[in-house]
Amino acid sequence: MTLEMTMIQRIFMILISLAAGFVAACSQQDDVTVLKLAHTLDTNHSVHKGMVHMAERLEHYSGGQMRMDIYPSGQVGSEREMVELVQIGSLDMTKVSTSPLEAFVPIMKVVSLPYVFRSKEHSHKVLDSEIGQMLLESTEVARLRGMGYYDAGSRSFYMVDSPVETPADLDGQKIRVMKSQTAVQMIDALGGSATPISWGELYTALQQGVVDGAENNPPSFFLSRHYETSKYYALNEHTTVPDILLMSLRNWNALEPQQQEWLQKAVDDSVAFQRILWEESTREALEGVKEAGVIVTYPDKQPFMDAVAEMKASFDGTEMGELLKAIEAVE
């Protein structure tokens, strides 16, 4: 059985489950328009809570004429599989990291580049600016509609057996990354061996030594319980990759203008709400992993920035390079 056939069968089974359990995407039930949203995160994650808030606000704005059903924890499949379901309209909405989205919308790789943002505040200003809106609109080439960004903090390295204080500590280490070519190139530039593995398989991969470490934000490290296998967490904050809320372009266009307005207002409310939750969850996550015995360090970021400088410079003179300059210019 080929890998291609396995993937086709997987998508087929997901479609069957959608048909059996969901009725239909963007469906009408007793004069209520029901939107189906699925994602891979734990229900304790601030992004999930932000989406629950969105569902509540949608019902409020629409006066009960619209409802959102949320399917968390990878019930519907991996991030890539859910994007594909949203593309064909079998699923209304999903939340994914912008990093693997670059496979569908190449310009999205710009926010996955290392140290593209100077700070959390800078990332928010960029994403709230015309640049962020342009990137949302760019998803239409993939039959998607970008609705908004959720804060996913900064990603840093956590390791099973040894700390990371400089890029030299990554030499030859197998590091799990998302299925993103940019993430692979970054790990290569830092001297590690990039190993793309799905999020749901990572705990076992760390436990069994398939990889030596991974990289993610504090809440994801904590809620996934990866701290049970990885006792070193180095907050070098090499990337600040936002999550993005996506909707099927076809299903968006099928909504009435008033319904679109209600939905976008609910999204905007949830984005602001989730940013507040993110700050709290990051603080709680760091406290939690420290209590569990994880050694948390704060290495000098400059050696990491120097190691990836050539990677970023490779875009000079290109459309991506001009976009990087525009991001840098945002004050």
Distance from C-alpha of 38 to C-alpha of 82, rounded to nearest angstrom: 7
Confirm if 154 and 236 have CB atoms less than 8 A apart: no
Same domain, 142 and 254: yes
Same domain, 265 and 313: no
pLDDT, tens digit, 9 for 90 and up, residues 174-190? 999 998 999 999 999 99
CA of 179: how far to CAs of 26, 144, 239, 309, in Å?
A: 29, 19, 15, 22
Distance from C-alpha of 221 to C-alpha of 232, rounded to nearest angstrom: 11
Tell me the average pLDDT across 6-29: 51
Same domain, 128 and 173: no
Count how many domains the chain has: 2
pLDDT, tens digit, 9 for 90 and up, residues 66-117? 999 999 999 999 888 999 999 999 999 999 999 889 999 999 999 999 999 9
**Residue 171 maps to a domain:** yes
Same domain, 41 and 127: yes
pLDDT, tens digit, 9 for 90 and up, residues 287-321? 999 999 999 999 999 999 999 999 999 999 999 99
Question: What CATH number is associated with residue 224?
Answer: 3.40.190.170
Same domain, 298 and 213: yes
Same domain, 183 and 250: no
User: 99, 127, 105, 147: which is closest to 247 by C-alpha?
Assistant: 147
How much is the pLDDT for 200?
87
**Residue 146 maps to a domain:** yes
How much is the pLDDT for 30?
73
pTM here is: 0.87
195: containing domain: 155-240+284-329
Same domain, 199 and 288: yes
How much is the pLDDT for 78?
87
Does residue 51 register a pLDDT over 70?
Answer: yes
How much is the pLDDT for 4?
42
Q: Helices 257-291 and 46-62 sit at what angle, rounded to 10 degrees?
A: 150
Same domain, 309 and 322: yes
Same domain, 165 and 133: no
Q: Which residues, 6 or more positions from 165, have their beta carbon under 8 angstroms from its beta carbon? A: 234, 297, 299
Same domain, 144 and 260: yes
Same domain, 142 and 161: no
